[in-house]
Amino acid sequence: MIVAVVAVTAWVYLVAFHGGFWLAFRFEDLPPPASEGPWPRIVAVVPARDEAAGIARCVTSILQQPYPGSLSMILIDDQSSDGTADLAARAAAAIGASDRLTVLRGQPLPSGWTGKLWAVKQGLDLAAQSHPDCVLLTDADIVYSGNAVTQLATRMRNDNLVMASVMAQLRCESFAEKFLIPAFVFFFGMLYPFAWVRRSDRATAAAAGGCILARFDALKRAGGIESIRGALIDDCALGARLKTTGPVWLGFTHDVKSIRASDEISDVGRMISRSAYAQLRYSLLLLLGMVIAMTVIFLSPMGLIFAADPLTRTLAAGSWVLMALAFQPTLRYYGQSPLWGVALPLISLAYMVFTLNSAYQYLRGRGGMWKGRAQANVSAS
């Protein structure tokens, strides 16, 4: 009975008082492009390590954005072994945009840095030579469509922001992606309610690493990328740094998409396990708290619905209904069946397993593994 009461109370709070995090459609609110400038000079900085599969689409999509101002791109080839740099250069040449793409060969990774942030640092140092107004920090598996960059710049100007970031629409085609990806977005919003991120009177800060448009001067005032050099969850760390310098904004759009495929559950599991324990600040105590909280809030309704006590069954059913309903806007955003809402307890169990594996890999010295680099020890130091 007590567990059932705690669970339903938690869901009432989450749905009614937690920043409306579950109402995804509320945050898909980039404005239409402004009709006139001035337009900031933007340099896109893209770190890439063995991204041959999608780098041409990324480069083409950015350089073909109908942005009315100056938009150029720096791609940092982070010691790729698959011809990423050459493919990027060919893609730019194919659309007559070679003059707007600079390919920088990345230097060896120094101690104290994660690979991605070291690559970004090199790109920003080069970008500084052209004195841009803004930098677009984006990933090599991200493709842009519509007027995404212009809309981001419009949002920044309209609201006098230091950062505007959108969560890229993740690929959601395979069974593994349908099972796990909408929940990733749902849980991210639960941890970092977008409404609270946008409010200057709230400490909550975050960004979505696939697409961050930031004022270059604000980035310098925030301490530069070196201030988060070891962060595994670098997007949220950067969002927190930038929020100390001015207003920030986080939202959704269908015009910024990730094309990285996760065809197997293990593919998504590796993505989650890479940084889940870092989210818990590498604390076994917080890990235990996470297990207890997720068991009570997400898993217990599935078991207690079969309890002998009628009131316990009713409360458990209420919790299950609330979580399934709360999941619906995210499922609708991703075009998925509403029936996935009923499976949220099982989906959350998978995320719990991924988080426990993240802690296990960290204790083995293999935490934060990404493309051959174990980076959690850098993050924890």
Half-sphere exposure of 360 (CA within 13 A, CB side): 8
Place of tokens 């010691």: 79
In a domain, 376, yes or no: no
Q: Output the average pLDDT for the chain.
A: 95
Q: How many domains does the chain have?
A: 2
Give the pLDDT confidence of 225-263 residue by residue, as tens digits: 999 999 999 999 999 999 999 999 999 999 999 999 999
Q: What angle do CA 62, 64, 70 make, to 5 degrees?
A: 80
Is the domain of 275 the same as that of 154?
A: no
Q: Are residues 274 and 217 in the same domain?
A: no
What is the β-pairing status of strands 134-138 and 101-105?
unpaired
Is residue 378 one of the residues assigned to a domain? Answer: no
Q: How far is Cα 231 from Cα 136, in angstroms, rounded to an integer?
A: 19
How many whole angstroms separate alpha carbon 221 and alpha carbon 244?
9
Domain boundary among 258, 276, 292: 258
Query: Is residue 342 included in any domain, yes or no?
Result: yes
| Domain harbouring 151, CATH code | 3.90.550.10
User: Is 40 contained in some domain?
Assistant: yes
Instruction: Provide the residue-wise pLDDT of the chain in tens; the chain has 381 residues.
Output: 899 999 999 999 999 999 999 999 999 999 999 988 899 999 999 999 999 999 999 999 999 999 999 999 999 999 999 999 999 999 999 999 999 999 999 999 999 999 999 999 999 999 999 999 999 999 999 999 999 999 999 999 999 999 999 999 999 999 999 999 999 999 999 999 999 999 999 999 999 989 999 999 999 999 999 999 999 999 999 999 999 999 999 999 999 999 999 999 999 999 999 989 999 999 999 999 999 999 999 999 999 999 989 999 999 999 999 999 999 999 999 999 999 999 999 999 999 999 999 999 998 887 666 666 556 555 555
Residue ending a domain, choose from 231, 258, 285: 258
Q: What is the DSSP string of 61-81?
A: HHHT---SS-EEEEEEE-S-S
**Same domain, residue pair 216 and 307:** no
Whether 33 is covered by a domain: the verdict is: yes
On whether both 275 and 288 belong to a single domain, the answer is: yes
Q: Which residues pair with 248 in a beta bridge?
A: 163
**Which neighbouring-strand residues pair with 47?**
76
Tokens of 297: 């809030």
CA distances for 90 relative to 96, 234, 249, angstroms? 10, 30, 34
The answer on 350 and 291 residing in a single domain is yes
- Beta strand pairing status for 42-48 and 134-138? parallel
Helix 344-363 with 175-191: angle, nearest 10 deg = 80
C-alpha distances (whole Å) from 317 to each of 4, 143, 180, 301, 303 are 9, 41, 23, 7, 10
Q: Are residues 199 and 333 in the same domain?
A: no
Residues 16 and 32 in one domain: no
- Same domain? For 13 and 98 the reply is no
Same domain, 221 and 349: no
Nearest to 153 by CA among 224, 67, 235, 219: 67
Do the domain assignments include residue 373? no
**Same domain flag for 114 and 198:** yes
By C-alpha distance, which of 61, 68, 8, 81 is closest to 35?
68
Is residue 144 in a domain? yes
Q: Summarize pLDDT for 309-332 with one digit per residue, the tens.
A: 999 999 999 999 999 999 999 999
On whether both 283 and 195 belong to a single domain, the answer is: no
DSSP for 283-316 reads -HHHHHHHHHHHIIIIIHHHHHTT-SSHHHHHHH
> Last residue of a domain, which of 218, 237, 258?
258
Q: Is residue 374 part of a domain?
A: no
Name the pTM for this structure: 0.94
228 and 152 assigned to the same domain: yes
Query: What is the span of the domain harbouring residue 318?
Result: 2-21+265-365
